Amino acid sequence: MTLDEATVNALAGRLERAERERKPVAKLTDEYPALDWDDAYAIQNTLRAHKIAAGVRIAGLKAGLTSKAKMKQMNVAEPVFGFLCDYGAYGDGGEVPFERYIAPRIEAEIAFVTARELRGPGCHIAQVLAATEFVLPAVEILDSRYENFRFDLVSVVADNTSAAGFVTGGRPRRVSEIDLPTLGLVVEHNGRVVETAAGAAVLGHPAESVAMLANSLARRGEAIPAGSFIMTGGITAALAMARGDCVTARFQDLGSVSLRFV
Ligand code: OOG
Ligand code: MG
């Protein structure tokens, strides 16, 4: 930890303002090159506390940068974790107001809903599968509060991992009914197939992403509560959106999820 409490508060406030006013800021490491993981999660936690105090409900948790496609696209090598806000939830087939964002991107993900608490350290895939009520398809909306969507790992953690919104729906399935690593996925952008992938793109098995989230929370004495909605990370590279763009993610066995930017 390199920052004092006042600076953590000020930086959380800076990122909140960037989101609210849709005015991107320089990545935090430009000004604080020594920013470390503890600083970054402290800023994210402060952001979260400010939102809760303002009446926002936390709608879920997320892992990011869990696939090679994403790590390569963003030029980073480690998963990151964040939270989802109630105001970012859209219905399947819903319309997303484009002007609400700075430079939105979308990515297809597999989401888990848990029946029981998951607590690290040492949380592993088998425990995740045993605690899972069902999985379902999802699309995440990303919007970096940093200029030109450019950041490093600690900066993006402070910015709640670019979380901006999400859509879920499709057909929920129990994990015993499907094979998550070989589960296929097709992403259509304005009716054209632009990405194809399988579940194993996410850390070999998307449940590994949930286990890593539990183990990461454990370092701060927290757990994944029962009944959590968890996005396991983009399976494919994220797609930049323009006003009027339509996206459909079709998942083998899990149905499809779509949205449109208006
Ligand atoms: C960071 C967030 C990454 C994912 O699923 O990989 C993420 C970013 O790429 O802006 O949510
Ligand atoms: Mg994501």
Mean predicted confidence (pLDDT) in 47-72: 95
CA distance 178 to 184: 11
pLDDT tens digits, 95-109: 999 999 999 999 999
pLDDT, mean of residues 17-35: 98
- 142 CA to centre of ligand 1 in angstroms: 7
- Collapsing DSSP to helix, strand or coil, 258 comes out as strand
Q: What is the pTM of this model?
A: 0.97
Ligand 1: nearest atom to the Cα of 73 = 9
CB within 6 Å of ligand 1 — which residues? 64-65, 70, 74, 107, 140, 142, 144, 156, 161-162, 233-234, 238
User: Are 170 and 251 a contacting pair, CB within 8 Å?
Assistant: yes
Instruction: Supply the mean pLDDT for the chain.
Output: 97
| Mean pLDDT computed over 233-248 | 97
Residue 259 near residue 94, CB atoms below 8 Å: yes
Q: Is the dihedral of CA 168, 58, 133, 118 positive or negative?
A: positive
- Cα distance between residue 220 and residue 106, in whole Å: 29
